[in-house]
Amino acid sequence: MKWRQASWDEKLLFELSSYDKPTFIVGDDEEFRREVGDLLSILPKNIIRSEGPQIPNLSEVEVVRHYIRLSQMSYGVDLGPVPLGSCTMKYNPKICEELANDESVTDLHPYQDEETVQGILQIMYLLQRWLAELTGMDECCLQPPAGASGEFTGALMIKKYHLDRGEGFRDEMIIPDAAHGSNPASAAMAGFKVVRVPTSESGEVDFDALKSVLSSRTAGIMLTNPNTLGIFESRIVEISKEVHKVGGLLYYDGANLNGIVGIVRPGDMGFDIVHLNIHKTFGAPHGGGGPGAGVICAKGGLVDYLPIPTVGFDGRKYFLNYNRSRSIGRVSQFYGNVVPLVKAFIYILALGPKIREVSEIAVLNTNYFIKLIEGVKGISIPYGKGRFRKHEVVISFEELLRDTGVNAEDIAKALIDRGVYAPTIYFPQIVKEAHMIEFTETETRDNIEFYARTYKELIDIAYKDPSKLKKTPENTSVTRLDQGLANHPLTRCPTYKFLGRLQKK
């Protein structure tokens, strides 16, 4: 089985356009012009264009076909596996899409009186409670509009917490060297100095190194568990005790929650703050299919610092609660991105107690994949040798590069040529020539076996004729780019390709 992308060179709309050809518009064109004329007659003369906008001259059928062709040139989770490690690109159930896009949700206005939106407030209230229960926290706020925003929010909460206690000297945030890049970025944006701690050979935070950097300046530590290598931090309770002993706080990055959801809770590990990526664990679309939502949860005294508003319930009605005297304030307009939150509500409601199976199957899938590629010449699994992984695994092509000159990027591009999506590459940076692979619970055994078989075939080609892989991808709409040119700001301009063709003409 192969998932093929279309491979023609689709022209831009302006290139498809021709101003000397007739266009067919569905509807009464004369009536349309009359309505436009009526509108122009009442508009102030100084805001009316002297010339019409330069838009392509295309018929409806040409426009539809153009965008359908573009969709056929793209790849997504509705077409096949997208095993981006740490991104948890799972299939998005269509029931969530359908219900969240119902007019009873989409036609609501954020300025409506609370009495008129009791239904959506009830949904948000219940979602807050469910997420607090799943994470072992006391309360959650749904306002942050994305995962990285949730991180930044958590860092701001930690900062204000220490300032209120008269401990503004706590200016250091400890972050493992395998952490997501947004962790040190969020900490730095909040005004902290980032203190890096190494990963031990076991694949966990080096406990002795961590203890050596703990001090009165420690504001907290930002961790995800399972970590970026897919390994569970077995000493997390000890880490919690040591950090708390010096007055620091524990912040949980929820990027990898899909590996433990329904089985173990960050709050029970000792974490004080948790952020969740709704798009990663709870069924909402990822990235461009968003928008996202980065729920932030807290327990104990940190609850007072959550953003406002949260949704409250007084036994009679639901309301937006602004009554948090120590809150860091708003981090987003209104109440965050409600539509993906509704999708998460539906997802959790549909699964109920079976949500535990999400992580069980995700963990099973990734470890099955590991068994399929174990012992293959040219690759290795660094750190935690022989250890059971959770939701993801990081493999290294360092040996293949040394033997053949074929690197991790070459293999990734060759995977695309085979009709499958490449995993995350060159991350985490502590693993040389890395592929970070995560098969979620929504992938089938056939898909996982095909992916492993494709890896083996490509490695076999690398040892026989490495030059073949240096030319890939060849079956895609865009073949291998000149990386130096591709990273130039001008080449990322949408009209660059079109202008270049005009110059040639």
Note the pLDDT tens digit of each residue in 211-236: 999 999 999 999 999 999 999 999 99
The C-alpha atoms of residue 350 and residue 347 are separated, in whole angstroms, by 5
The string of DSSP codes covering 160-178 is: HHHHHTT-TT--EEEEETT
CB 405 within 8 A of CB 447: no
Pair of tokens at residue 69: 């062709």
Q: Which of 106-110, 453-457, 495-499 has the lowest mean pLDDT?
A: 495-499
Q: Which of 54-63, 112-121, 421-430 has the lowest mean pLDDT?
A: 54-63
pLDDT exceeds cutoff 80 at 490: no
pLDDT exceeds cutoff 50 at 502: no
The verdict on 158 and 43 lying in the same domain is no
Residue 480 lies in a domain: no
Residue 128 lies in a domain: yes
Residue 91 lies in a domain: no
Residue 215 lies in a domain: yes
CB 138 within 8 A of CB 303: yes
Pair of tokens at residue 288: 């461009």
Q: How many CB atoms lie within 10 A of CB 316?
A: 6
The verdict on 112 and 50 lying in the same domain is no
pTM: 0.87
Q: How confident is the model at residue 56 (pLDDT cuts 50, 70, 90)?
A: confident
The C-alpha atoms of residue 246 and residue 28 are separated, in whole angstroms, by 75
Q: Which residues pair with 437 in a beta bridge?
A: 84, 393
Residue ranges of the alpha helices (H) in 214-271?
236-245, 266-269
The verdict on 136 and 23 lying in the same domain is no
Q: Helix, strand, coil: what percent of the chain each, to 5?
A: 45, 10, 45
The verdict on 54 and 108 lying in the same domain is no
The verdict on 46 and 143 lying in the same domain is no
Residue 3 lies in a domain: no
The verdict on 184 and 41 lying in the same domain is no
CB 246 within 8 A of CB 214: yes
| 7 residue type, one letter | S
Residue 323 lies in a domain: yes
The C-alpha atoms of residue 140 and residue 124 are separated, in whole angstroms, by 10
CB 214 within 8 A of CB 248: yes
Q: How confident is the model at residue 14 (pLDDT cuts 50, 70, 90)?
A: confident
DSSP at 299? -
The C-alpha atoms of residue 363 and residue 257 are separated, in whole angstroms, by 11
Which residues, at least 6 apart from 148, have a Cβ–Cβ distance to it below 8 Å? 182, 185, 186, 294
Residue 259 lies in a domain: yes
| 327 residue type, one letter | S
Q: Which residues pair with 275 in a beta bridge?
A: 253, 296
| pLDDT at 330 (0 to 100) | 94
The verdict on 257 and 333 lying in the same domain is yes
* Domain that residue 319 falls in: 96-353
Q: Which of 353, 383, 404 is the last residue of a domain?
A: 353
The verdict on 220 and 287 lying in the same domain is yes
Q: How confident is the model at residue 356 (pLDDT cuts 50, 70, 90)?
A: very high
At 122-154, the pLDDT tens digits run 999 999 999 999 999 999 999 998 888 999 999
Here the CATH number for the domain that contains residue 337 is: 3.40.640.10
The verdict on 100 and 47 lying in the same domain is no
Q: Which of 328, 353, 378 is the last residue of a domain?
A: 353
The verdict on 36 and 177 lying in the same domain is no
The verdict on 140 and 265 lying in the same domain is yes
Residue 487 lies in a domain: no
Q: Is the model more confident about 160 or about 33? A: 160
Q: Which of 302, 319, 353 is the last residue of a domain?
A: 353
Kind of pairing between the strands at 294-298 and 273-277: antiparallel
Closest CA to 331 of 133, 147, 111: 147
CB 243 within 8 A of CB 221: yes
pLDDT exceeds cutoff 50 at 505: no
The verdict on 31 and 152 lying in the same domain is no
Domains of the chain: total: 2
At 260-299, the pLDDT tens digits run 999 999 999 999 999 999 989 998 888 655 678 999 999 9
